[in-house]
Structure 1
Amino acid sequence: MVQKGDTVLLLDRRHDHLKGFIPPGGKVEFPESFVEAAIREVKEETGLAVSDLVYKGLYEYVNPEKNDRYMIFNYISSSFTGELLKSAPEGTPVWVPIEEACQLPMIDSIKRRFPLFFEEGTFEIQVEWDNEKDQEGKVTVRRT
C-alpha cells in the first residue's frame, strides 16, 4: 500500500477474476526478498519507486484438506519518487481518499484488511478455504 497524506494508491482493475480496486502487489520471484518483491511490483504496476516499507501484517489462506497455504505479506509506505503510469497491465493507478476506499468495488479479502493498514501494530488474518463450497470459510483476525 502506498500512502500520500489522506489518500492511498489503488489500481482500478478491470480484467479477470480480480475486478475492482486493489493495492499494487504480486508474486515474489526467487531469490528476491519479500520487500524487494513489493518494491518491484509497485514500480511495475504504478511507475513509483517506493522505499522505507513498513511491515503491516500477514494475510493467509489455509486449505486443511490439501495441506496447502498461500501467504500475502502486507507493507505500507509513504516514501516514493517517480510519476504515475497513465495505465498499466494490472489496472489504472489512482489516488483514492482513505475514508472512501472501502466504498469502492473491492474484493472481500482486500476490504477485510484495508483498515488494518492504518492502525498501530501489525495484523495476521487466516482464512480457511472450504473445498466443498469452493469459497472462504472460517476467518480469524489477530492484531498485535
Structure 2
Amino acid sequence: MSNEIQYKIWTVCMIQDGDYILLIDRQHDDFKGYIPPGGKVDFPESIVEGAIREVKEETGLDVKNLMYKGLYEYVNPISKARYMMFNYLTKDFSGELLQNPPEGRLVWVKVDEALNLPMQESIKRRFPLFFEEGTFEIQVVWDHEKNREASFSIKHT
C-alpha cells in the first residue's frame, strides 16, 4: 500500500431565495435523496469556479457572491484518503432552471421544512449550519473494514 495520501475535492452550493432553497431530488445510484447542487472540482479550476460550474450544469442557474459556510470531510486512515467538500451559500443567482436536469428534479423547498425530506445523513448533519452565523468544520473518520462512519466531530465558529 502506498504512503501517498489521496485527496478528492467536491463542492456544495445552497441557493436561497427568501424562505426557500433549491434542492435536487436525486434518485439514481447510491446517493439518493434531496441534495443541494454540487460536485467534483476539476483540476486545475479553483474551488469556487468548480462550485459555480456545478450549479450551472445541474440547475441552469448562474450564481455569484458565494459565501463560504464550511468544510465537510471524510478521512480514511487505512486507505489514506481525504475527501473534502467545500460548502457555500448564495442568494445571488440568475437564469432559468433546466427543464431536464441531469441529476434529478429541481425543487424549491421551504428552509424550515427541508429536513423533513429524505436526505443522506451527511446533508442532514450540515444543513442547519448553512443558515447560522459563522462557519463549520465537520470531520468524519471512516471505518475501512466496516465501510461506514466510525466517528465524527463538528466545530462551529
Report TM bin, short chain.
over 0.9
How far apart, CA to CA, are the structure 2 residues paired with 1:111 and 1:87?
26
TM-aligned CA deviation for residue 86 of structure 1: 2.0
Gaps of 5+ in 2: 1-13
How far apart, CA to CA, are the structure 2 residues paired with 1:67 and 1:40?
28
What is the aligned-residue identity percentage?
A: 66
What's the RMSD between the two structures over aligned residues? 0.7
Which residue of structure 1 lines up, in the alignment, with residue 84 of structure 2? 71
How far apart, CA to CA, are the structure 2 residues paired with 1:50 and 1:141?
28
Q: TM-score, normalised by structure 2?
A: 0.90
Does residue 98 in structure 1 map to residue 111 in structure 2? yes
1:7-50 CA-to-partner distances (Å, cap 9, x unmatched) read 10000011101111000000111111000000000011001000
TM-aligned CA deviation for residue 87 of structure 1: 2.5
Checking the alignment, whether the CA contact within 8 Å between 1:53 and 1:77 is kept in structure 2 is yes
Point out the structure with the larger strand share. Answer: 2
Does residue 120 in structure 1 map to residue 133 in structure 2? yes
Does residue 34 in structure 1 map to residue 47 in structure 2? yes
The amino acid that maps onto 2:44 is P
2:155 alignment partner, SS class: strand
Q: TM-score, normalised by structure 1?
A: 0.98
Q: Extract structure 1 runs of 4+ deviating beyond 4 A.
A: none
Matching residue within 22, 31, 39 for 1:9: 22
Which residue of structure 2 lines up, in the alignment, with residue 107 of structure 1? 120
